Structure 1
Amino acid sequence: MYLLDQVKKQQGDTQINRVYLIKDQKVVFVNEEFSKWNKVRVNVSGFTLTAGHVQSEYQLLNDLSDDEFEFRQKTLIEHGCTTVMLFVKIQYEAQIEKKLLAVIEKLKSSTIDYVLGLEIPLRLLRPSVLILCKKLTIPFLHVICDEQSDIEQIPWMYIAQASLSYRVVLMPSFKHESFKEKQNQKWHWQKYTKKYAIANEEYIREGQRWERRALQKVGLYPQKGELLVGSDLDYNLYTADESQLVEGSHKLDYDKRKPSAVILRGKSLKIDHHHFLIAGFGQHIRIKMPGRLLSVGN
């Protein structure tokens, strides 16, 4: 065990003082100070700390060469991403298990952690697919609603019943070219998901970070995306460069900033301009119970 000491943690627009007691690369204690601790301390004064970023990703699923795969991982790590949420594209229910097994095999050489979700057309939104999601621990579905999609024809009551024991989060995208029809699709989607208390969330595009509420819905919080008791020791360290703070606040401008250090489960993946890829270190995180920290209907 050791103490991560003298931490300036970014919390919204402010910075707060924190110490973190670490055991087996997980946070076991958090406080403003721990003066009685008389064992190993790791001092990170002079840096600002954030939790490792969790973001949506597609490119790692492409048919990449080993060099391209490494380059993409370095790019993600360069910007502080320690966990990716992957959307495996599916056209037919029968191909789901085979495609997922192929992706898991491909990602055995991953350095960063990952969670598997699916991207499906609306016609595949059916109870049997949700039951399969429970079996395969798939906590989120990106649902594509195009010009041919009829949201009213979806068996919403049976979707709700199939979701009772494993609340898969639905993330819709509305692709209709007509703005009026797109708004009509959104209205019907909200109507039925609210009526049947089905978990849903706005689609989070590639490269965008998942915030607390979305992570809670899929069941990844607080393991990822925060540093609380029980969290993995994933964090980024930023140097105190005032030129890269948002004007008028202490909030880091993440569009401009690149962390000086990126840590995943206690391992350094980046220090200054040096990257340390560890093939096979990345874990496939299987979500056993999405939404376990949320009340039904959220």
Structure 2
Amino acid sequence: MYIIENANILKDTVLSTCSLLINEDRITAIQTRFKRYQLIKMNAEPYIMTPSYVLLSSKIPFQGTFLDLKSYLVQHFLLKGCTTLFTYATISYENELTKKLQEMQTALISCPIDFIIGVKIPIRLITPSFIRSCKKLKIPAIFVELQSLDELENIPWGWIREAMFPFNSPFIPLISTTQKKEAKTTMSKWNDIMVKEKIPALYEGIEENQPLPIPILNKIGLYPHKCSLMNGSELSYNLYEKGREIKNVDEASLFHYHSDRLVVTVHKGKVVRTGNRVLFKPGNGEHVKVRTPSYFSL
């Protein structure tokens, strides 16, 4: 056990200073300070601490060489302070669900960071039997390609809602059009149906290669077990050098505009990046199995 003291933890836009009691790869207690503990202490005062990030990416080069995959994961994830990769398998027919998921897991077997796998489907696959299969396999997210919205009107939503319960993996919209007006109309119709039918869903798409915010992390069941610095959560965090220009800053701004100040990334208690040096350990990541989406009430 050891103590991280004077940690300046940034949550959204609020910076608070506290000390963390660490046992192996877990935070076991958080207090203003630990006076009575005679343990090794790490002073984090010169830094701003944030939870490590989860990023969505559908363009991982699985078909390339190991060096291609390594380069992609280092540049797009590890050097950006991300320790959990979110991706999805594309499913065209119900009977290929298990096979496609296994293929994705195999492709990520050498991944140095944790990963979570959803599925991408056409609207026609929103059927009670397919949703039950997803529930059985504990799929954390179902991305739906929104092309023919007329199909949404004909889905037996009552049966779908029943098939989802109690796992309630959320539907996430994927809009292919680049026309803003058309995309806005499509999203509006999607939201109307999801709200009316009381279906667990996101009401906007997820941007790729951007840190997932807490409400989305909660919907897919990662928060607060991951991506949080709370009592009981895993010890995965980033340390940014403090400076005048980043005194009043939020997590998103740190990620987008101050990546040059990111000096340390820790994944489950182990350092995976110091400065520009990445400790790439193939197979160090694990397939994260979500227990219950939207478990934590925000």
State the TM-score, normalizing by the size of structure 2.
0.91
Deviation at 1:257, TM superposition (A): 2.0
Q: Which whole-Å deviations, capped at 9, do the CAs of 1:56-111 have from their partners, x for residues lacking one? A: 11233631210011111111110111111112122221111101111111211111
- The yes-or-no answer on 1:89 pairing with 2:121 is no
Counterpart in the other structure of 2:135: 134
Deviation at 1:264, TM superposition (A): 0.5
Counterpart in the other structure of 2:268: 265
Report the residue type matching 1:276 in the other structure. Answer: L
Counterpart in the other structure of 1:62: 62
Counterpart in the other structure of 1:205: 207
| Secondary structure of 1:97 counterpart | helix
Counterpart in the other structure of 2:216: 214
Structure 1, unaligned runs of 5 or more: none
Counterpart in the other structure of 2:197: 196
Kindly tell me: are residues 14 and 186 of structure 1, through their superposed partners in 2, closer, same or farther at Cα, counting changes over 3 Å? closer
| Secondary structure of 1:108 counterpart | coil
Counterpart in the other structure of 1:26: 26
| Secondary structure of 2:60 counterpart | helix
| Secondary structure of 2:56 counterpart | strand
Deviates more, 1:82-91 or 1:167-176: 167-176
Q: Which whole-Å deviations, capped at 9, do the CAs of 1:171-193 have from their partners, x for residues lacking one? A: 11234577666555434322332
Report the residue type matching 1:226 in the other structure. Answer: S
Which of these residues, 285, 288, 292, is aligned with residue 291 of structure 2? 288
State the alpha-carbon separation in 1 of the partners of residues 197 and 13 from structure 2.
Answer: 37
Structure 2, unaligned runs of 5 or more: none
Kindly tell me: are residues 87 and 194 of structure 1, through their superposed partners in 2, closer, same or farther at Cα, counting changes over 3 Å? same
Counterpart in the other structure of 2:13: 13
| Secondary structure of 2:5 counterpart | strand
Counterpart in the other structure of 1:234: 236
Report the residue type matching 1:29 in the other structure. Answer: A
State the alpha-carbon separation in 2 of the partners of residues 83 and 179 from structure 1.
Answer: 31
| Secondary structure of 1:278 counterpart | coil
Counterpart in the other structure of 2:46: 46
State the alpha-carbon separation in 2 of the partners of residues 59 and 263 from structure 1.
Answer: 25
Deviation at 1:3, TM superposition (A): 1.1
Aligned length: 292
| Secondary structure of 2:254 counterpart | coil
Report the residue type matching 1:281 in the other structure. Answer: N
Q: Which whole-Å deviations, capped at 9, do the CAs of 1:211-247 have from their partners, x for residues lacking one? A: 111111111111112111121111000112334x27x
Counterpart in the other structure of 1:156: 157
Report the residue type matching 2:163 in the other structure. Answer: A
State the alpha-carbon separation in 2 of the partners of residues 110 and 191 from structure 1.
Answer: 39
Kindly tell me: are residues 63 and 79 of structure 1, through their superposed partners in 2, closer, same or farther at Cα, counting changes over 3 Å? same
State the alpha-carbon separation in 2 of the partners of residues 264 and 179 from structure 1.
Answer: 38
State the alpha-carbon separation in 2 of the partners of residues 292 and 256 from structure 1.
Answer: 32
State the TM-score, normalizing by the size of structure 1.
0.91
Deviation at 1:280, TM superposition (A): 1.1
Report the residue type matching 2:115 in the other structure. Answer: Y
Counterpart in the other structure of 2:36: 36
Query: Do 1:88 and 1:118's aligned partners in 2 also have CA atoms closer than 8 Å?
Result: yes
Percent identical = 25
Query: Do 2:61 and 2:72's aligned partners in 1 also have CA atoms closer than 8 Å?
Result: no
State the alpha-carbon separation in 1 of the partners of residues 3 and 182 from structure 2.
Answer: 56
Deviates more, 1:140-149 or 1:96-105: 140-149
Counterpart in the other structure of 2:73: 73
